[in-house]
Amino acid sequence: MTRETLADTLEEIALLLELKGENPFKIRAYRTGAETVAQFPGDIVALAREGKLSGIKGIGDALQQKLHELASTGSLGFYEKLKAEFPPGLFELFDLQGLGPKKIKALHETLGVDSVAKLKSLCESGEVAKLPGFGAKTAAKILESIAFRESNADRFRLGDVAGPVEEILECLRDHPEALRVEAAGSYRRSKETVHDVDFLVATSRPEEVIEHFVSQPWVSRVIAKGPTKASINLANGLQCDLRAVSNAEFACALAYFTGSKEHNVAMRGRALERGYTLNEYRLAVKEGSEAAEAPVFENEAQLHRFLGLDYIAPELRENTGEIEAAEEGDLPRLIELENLRGTFHNHSVASDGRNTLEEMAAAAIEHGLQYLGIADHSKSSFQANGLDETRLRAQIAEIRALNARYRDEGLKFRLFAGNEVDILKDGSLDFDDDLLGELDYVVASVHNAMSLSEAAMTERLIKAVSHPRVTMLGHLTGRLLLERDPYAVDIPAVIEACAEHGTVIELNCSPWRLDMDWRWWKHAVAKGVKCAINPDAHRTSQLEYLAFGVRLARKGWLRREDVINTLDLAAIEAWLGLKPIT
Ligand code: DGT
Ligand code: CA
Ligand code: ZN
């Protein structure tokens, strides 16, 4: 049980009570409770477990009971009962962009909307447009977000599949007849979204491993099962395929099923030029060719070498120049998670984060980081509880005091006082230059007015990244994977401006964003732009997002030296123009 689960549960209860039309005071009590739990300076989970919450302002008697039950048993009867009062389809509506609890409540009560399918047909028939507070424009917007959802219905974010995939890998590797097990396909290539996951096992007893695979508790449906392969669905709809091959076939099979298709086609062509055929099982001498017998490859590196190539990391296999580079010995040495020394874009309870500065710092230290940049929202992001000048100055002071304490404790760790400053519609920043100058660094991001024309948006971003106080540009395109398209913007022009002004571009590691897109990094680096790999963590556990960022950075051909937060504390202080804390 974590602080986040406690707070999230209270918040969800508030939402459901709102849908039920309960008394606003009761609803507010849950919201306040959620906030209090999130921001409480001590170990709130232990206090809840031990039933010692009395006297904490913001948590009334009724909530104390519920928090105690949740923390000590892991579930809450009241919450489960409440959820069961609603049709399960209703919860799908929460995922639609631009539909808040108030609108959902109105739709549910007046038109009986209890699923996305029903909402769609009522939008199409014009019923929704007639509702007070909706109108034709809103109905059209809803249809748009439903269409967007449908067009992505069969894709999954990397962040949503990574957990299950690692669990399945572990389970397959546990089988005594499984000699080698890997996940291949787009997952192994670290695509930001995947359609399905392709597992591969080397074994001499395929039936046994296949049986093991299809009989796990997480299998919600067996789509197909044969002697050497099987396909299943997980509860969330993700399809997982398992193929069994012999140990001798494993290297070629792994190369084939990792793809991409375009990469495979080029590799097959290369084999043919040398007198060999290459398929999903082996490299073989082409009929009529004089070429020497091909060996059995133990791993992909041997196969690549045999074809006259350096080993090509899976992330690079998109046929975008990796084969040519491997031939020339020109492949980049890709960045690794262990190379990161700190990170810059993180939130705290001061804006919309879940953890205090101290908790965030402790988590960063646990991750082996030497510095953590705090970049809470600025005042215009009022929906995210953005900080105004007074609160930001107080936070800067709080960070300075914490740093003094870390120094006194002999810790080699520093919090940097930054801010995620809103880029206003005209490209100006949310704070004046004096305040920006008091910060250690500045992340500038767009959070509103996203439907500007491409020309206006490009001008807006160029103006922001040209500002001398802006250190880095946050989530360049504003996309939310499978949810919201990137806004229209001329990316090369923005990269050009960043290069000219020495502004870093963020690779936002949130699995919803992974923005700037991996396809642009090679170009950005060629222009001399540096990358910052930032988790945009809103809670301590989200520092884990760094791993996704590194996967996508590798996909973008980034090396250690291209990423600014691989610099150690002393080097980054120098780079930011800051004096060490002594
Ligand atoms: P996904 O699942 O759409 O996210 O993307 P992938 O790349 O995982 O594609 P998938 O699952 O259809 O196939 C896995 C790999 O198998 C793919 O990356 C390359 C290989 N493959 C599949 N079909 C073909 C094909 O027609 N030709 C060649 N050369 N390779 C293929
Ligand atoms: Ca796949
Ligand atoms: Zn942001």
DSSP assignment string, 25-84: HHHHHHHHHHHHHHH-SS-HHHHHHTT--TT-TT--HHHHHHHHHHHHHS--HHHHHHHH
Closest ligand 1 atom to Cα of 187: 8
pLDDT of residue 208: 98
Closest ligand 1 atom to Cα of 268: 29
pLDDT at 153 over 90: no
- Higher pLDDT, residue 569 or 96: 569
Radius of gyration for the chain, computed over Cα atoms and rounded to the nearest angstrom = 26
Lowest mean pLDDT among 83-92, 153-162, 432-441: 83-92
pLDDT of residue 15: 86
409 in the same domain as 531 = yes
Residue at 251 is within a domain: no
276 in the same domain as 128 = no
- What band does 582 get if pLDDT is binned at 50, 70 and 90? confident
- Ligand 1 contacts CB of residue 206 (under 6 A): no
Tell me the pLDDT of the chain averaged across its residues: 95
280 in the same domain as 190 = no
Range of the domain at 34: 3-151
535 Cβ contact partners less than 8 Å away, ≥ 6 residues apart = 343, 345, 346, 509, 510, 542, 543, 544, 545, 546, 549
Domain harbouring 360, CATH code: 3.20.20.140
pLDDT at 152 over 80: no
- What band does 103 get if pLDDT is binned at 50, 70 and 90? confident
Q: What is the mean pLDDT of residues 297-321?
A: 98
- What band does 2 get if pLDDT is binned at 50, 70 and 90? confident
- What band does 95 get if pLDDT is binned at 50, 70 and 90? confident
pLDDT at 89 over 90: no
Lowest mean pLDDT among 11-25, 67-81, 170-184: 11-25
545 in the same domain as 446 = yes
Determine the residue of 158, 186, 188 to mutate for testing ligand 1's pocket, defined as the one with the most ligand atoms within 8 A of the Cβ atom.
Answer: 186
pLDDT in tens, 364-390: 999 999 999 999 999 999 888 999 999
Q: What is the mean pLDDT of residues 239-243?
A: 98
223 in the same domain as 291 = no
Q: How many alpha carbons fall within 13 Å on the CB side of residue 184?
A: 25
Residue at 582 is within a domain: no
Domain harbouring 197, CATH code: 3.30.460.10
pLDDT of residue 197: 98
DSSP 243-279: EEE-GGGHHHHHHHHH--HHHHHHHHHHHHHTTEEE-
342 in the same domain as 324 = no
- What band does 476 get if pLDDT is binned at 50, 70 and 90? very high
108 in the same domain as 80 = yes
- Higher pLDDT, residue 3 or 555: 555
pLDDT in tens, 37-48: 988 888 899 999
Q: What is the mean pLDDT of residues 78-86?
A: 92
276 in the same domain as 231 = no
pLDDT of residue 88: 80
pLDDT of residue 371: 98
Residue at 563 is within a domain: yes
pLDDT of residue 483: 85
| 384/399 Cα distance (integer angstroms) | 21
Residue at 255 is within a domain: no
- What band does 336 get if pLDDT is binned at 50, 70 and 90? very high
Q: What is the mean pLDDT of residues 384-405?
A: 96
pLDDT at 1 over 80: no
pLDDT at 97 over 80: no
* Percentage, residues of the chain above pLDDT 90: 85
pLDDT of residue 224: 97
Exposure string over 429-452, b if 16+ CB within 10 A, otherwise e: bbbeeebbeebbbbbbbbbeeeeb
Determine the residue of 154, 187, 190, 198 to mutate for testing ligand 1's pocket, defined as the one with the most ligand atoms within 8 A of the Cβ atom.
Answer: 198
Centre of ligand 2 to C-alpha 169, Å, is 15
Q: Are the C-beta atoms of residues 545 and 551 closer than 8 Å to each other?
A: no
453 in the same domain as 433 = yes
- Ligand 1 contacts CB of residue 149 (under 6 A): no
Residue 428, Cβ neighbours under 10 Å: how many? 14
pLDDT at 100 over 80: no
Amino acid at 578: L
Residue whose Cα lies nearest atom 13 of ligand 1: it is 185
Task: Return the closest-CA partner of residue 14 out of 25, 2, 3, 4.
Answer: 25
195 in the same domain as 88 = no
How many domains does the structure of the chain reveal? 4
Centre of ligand 3 to C-alpha 159, Å, is 18
Lowest mean pLDDT among 72-81, 264-273, 498-507, 509-518: 72-81
pLDDT at 101 over 80: no
